[in-house]
Amino acid sequence: MIKIFLAEDQTMLGSALAMLLDLEDDFEVVGTANNGKDALEEIIELQPTVTILDIEMPKMSGLEVAKQLRLLKLDTKIIILTTFARSKYFKEALSAHVDGYLLKDSPSDSLIDSIRTILLGNTVFDPKLVNGVLDTVDNPLTDRELEVLSGLKQFATTKELAKNLFLSEGTVRNYISSILSKTGTSSRLEAVNLAEKKHWI
């Protein structure tokens, strides 16, 4: 029997996934958690064959859990299942040596097929993520500039963004000027759109 542990902070989605996986004759969902801290503790105790982790969870992210599991050398296949097609997350997952990185908008059958493929010793990564990493090769921005650029999506004013990043408004304006110069764009919106298209953020 293939023992599966599922960590997902959206309870309804987690329950639906658990039911789907339990329909397979040789799959058994042995545990679930809706935050990273509980997930890590239960995975250590239950020793599942396969661990499926969401990324953005309370207390500990799925990526942090994955890194801890690798440090502990637990013999479990690790699959990241997330809504985030972000190159930054994908590269972190690769550094944690996960066995799979899948997106939640994929067909449900593909999750089951991916688990079986991974159990054969293969890795499975969503093609969108692989292409995204290739796109980051020409990324001219620093991590801090990417952080500012991401913030431009969320905050309407420089003042709000500066407050959120614990920077002065002048410093944020300097970062924005640098971003526009490096990307060859003429506005904040154009810079954000370019970065999203290139999968930099």
Q: Is 165 exposed, middle or buried (0-12, 13-18, 19+ CB in 10 A)?
A: middle
Q: pTM, whole model, 2 decimals?
A: 0.65
The pLDDT of residue 114 is 92
List pLDDT tens digits, range 138-174: 678 888 888 898 888 888 788 988 888 888 999 999 9
Q: CATH number of 139-197: 1.10.3720.10, 1.10.10.10, 3.40.47.10, 3.40.50.920? A: 1.10.10.10
The pLDDT of residue 136 is 54
The pLDDT of residue 130 is 62
Q: What is the dihedral of CA 181, 186, 187, 190, to 10 degrees?
A: -90
Q: Where do the structural domains in the chain lie, given as residue ranges?
A: 2-134, 139-197
Residues in the chain: 201
Fold match between domain 2-134 and domain 139-197: no
Q: CATH fold of 2-134, please?
A: Rossmann fold (3.40.50)
Strands (E), the chain: 2-7, 27-33, 50-53, 77-82, 100-103, 124-125
The pLDDT of residue 197 is 79
List pLDDT tens digits, range 99-113: 999 888 877 788 899
Q: For the chain, list residues with pLDDT below 70.
A: 129-138
The pLDDT of residue 52 is 96
- Nearest Cα neighbor of 18 from 84, 120, 112, 125 is 112
